[in-house]
Amino acid sequence: MATTTARATDLCRVARRASRALASLETGIKNAALEAIALALVDRTDEIVEANALDVDAATAAGLRPTLIDRLTLDPTRIAGIAAGVRQIAGLADPVGEVISGFRAPNGLDIRHVRVPLGVIAVVYEARPNVTIDAAALCLKSGNAIVLRGSSTAAHSNAILAGLAIDAACSAGVPDGAIGLVAGGGREELAELAGQEGLVDLIIPRGGEGLKRALQAVARVPVIYAASGNCHVYVDASAGIDAATAIIVNGKVQKPSVCNAAETLLVHAAIAEAFLPQALRVLAGSRVELRGDARTRELAGALDVIPAEESDWATEFLAPVLAVRVVESIDEAIDHIGRYGSGHSEAIVTRDTEAARRFQRDIDAACVYVNASTRFTDGGEFGMGAEIGNSTQKLHARGPIGMRELCTTKYLIEGDGHVRP
């Protein structure tokens, strides 16, 4: 197996050299490398599960929350899903060289605006070993070298995954150094990686607010923050009760530890009496801890609803906990989301077209849903094969970060002896 770990500076230098060859690598070679990675994942499933068990056992002994352990855990079904995502990326169109626009200027110059790789991308992530493969596959297909820096919590899992990806990619003709894994997981390595001006073109952190703050303190290269998700579901006055119940239960219960899970339920006062008793009963039956305002607690009847505190509206719980509030109007719902939301994913459930359009127009978030769960904010669900994270920023990339978001652009201009008068 190829050596996967080294100091950040050394890996970044090697990655910079590899990026020059990657930028012009033929699509067929990139796709062959991705297929080789997918095959290796399937063939070595038992080894991956064994390595992952070491991380899961250590995390359990350390008392990590069940939701964090769930993120960390790999099993044959999840590994097969990761491999399927790699194959989906291989089947997508190559973004490198894609012509965004082209025209002939009045002076006769032919001008094309095309996509090109960024160069070297560093991805910093916490206890999500699937990111090792997802990020490597997206960067490879978009012609970028990648430097991975996972957490010590997933050290064994990341090492075997990065190692098999390196071996498989190199066997298909990808240059050495295109994929690297930084040794260690301390703040010193993070600071070293974040200071690689001239070697790293972009850093993408995927983790909680603690990781974001730590990177903000030391970063000297551009960063796209795949940030937290304080996501809301607003049930409008005209909503169908059964549809609204299904959407909030899916948003909160299906996988509460992820950034696209719903954290707050807002309910219009006109429908609250008909909707909340049913919805709260189903949520409580799914073992969701409920925290509500006075009106919610009144309508909950015998159900246990903890009085909501101000901090609950601003919290990304990443757990089976839901804050619930009754609002008097769509304006109040929009104001609440504007104050407490993180710009990730927001949803309205309504049968009123005007309300739906108002919500879409006035909500400032990367993804705004009408009559659908926030759980759909995902690169795989959006047809990207996978994602490195979900950007809540507004510059360059917003929403799921896929292949196109890992590219920049350049203008190609052709003339015939043209000089500017």
pLDDT confidence band for 184 (50 / 70 / 90): low
Q: Which has more confidence, 171 or 194?
A: 171
173 and 33 within one domain: yes
Question: Does any domain span residue 81?
Answer: yes
**What's the domain range around 77?**
5-226+388-414
Question: Does any domain span residue 113?
Answer: yes
pLDDT confidence band for 208 (50 / 70 / 90): confident
Token representation of residue 378 = 């995902």
CATH number at residue 152: 3.40.605.10
CATH number at residue 355: 3.40.309.10
- Residue 330: phi, psi to the nearest 5? -65, -30
Q: For 11, what's the count of Cα atoms within 13 Å in the CB-facing half-sphere?
A: 25
β-strand pairing of 99-104 with 231-235: unpaired
Question: Does any domain span residue 135?
Answer: yes
Question: Does any domain span residue 122?
Answer: yes
Alpha carbon separation from 273 to 279, 323, 347 (Å, rounded)? 11, 17, 20
189 and 100 within one domain: yes
pLDDT confidence band for 2 (50 / 70 / 90): very low
Question: Does any domain span residue 382?
Answer: no
pLDDT digits (tens, 9 = 90+) for 321-360: 999 999 999 999 999 999 999 999 999 999 999 999 999 9
305 and 180 within one domain: no
Element (H, E) at 6: strand 5-6
Question: Does any domain span residue 41?
Answer: yes
Number of structural domains found in the chain: 2
263 and 216 within one domain: no
* Whether pLDDT at 233 is above 80: yes
Average pLDDT over residues 52-65: 96
217 and 288 within one domain: no
280 and 204 within one domain: no
162 and 101 within one domain: yes
Cβ atoms of 228 and 214 within 8 Å: the answer is no
Whether this model's pTM surpasses 0.85:
yes
Question: Does any domain span residue 197?
Answer: yes
Least confidently predicted of 25-29, 213-217, 292-296: 213-217
pLDDT confidence band for 6 (50 / 70 / 90): low
pLDDT given at position 53: 98
- Cα separation, 202 vs 122, whole angstroms: 6
- Cα separation, 249 vs 334, whole angstroms: 21
Cα four-point dihedral sign 110, 114, 120, 121 = positive
244 and 103 within one domain: no
Average per-residue pLDDT in the chain? Answer: 94
The string of DSSP codes covering 24-37 is T--HHHHHHHHHHH
Average pLDDT over residues 5-25: 91
237 and 191 within one domain: no
* Whether pLDDT at 27 is above 60: yes
398 and 317 within one domain: no
* Whether pLDDT at 30 is above 70: yes
Average pLDDT over residues 111-124: 97
Question: Does any domain span residue 208?
Answer: yes
81 and 189 within one domain: yes
**Strands (DSSP E) found in 37-144:** 99-104, 110-117, 120-125
Within 10 A of 140 (CB to CB), how many other CB atoms are there? 29
DSSP class of residue 300? T
216 and 243 within one domain: no
* Whether pLDDT at 71 is above 70: yes
Element (H, E) at 306: strand 305-307
Residue found by looking up tokens 């509206």 in the block: 313
Least confidently predicted of 81-85, 146-150, 183-187, 281-285: 183-187
* Whether pLDDT at 403 is above 80: yes
- Cα separation, 213 vs 209, whole angstroms: 6
pLDDT given at position 249: 98
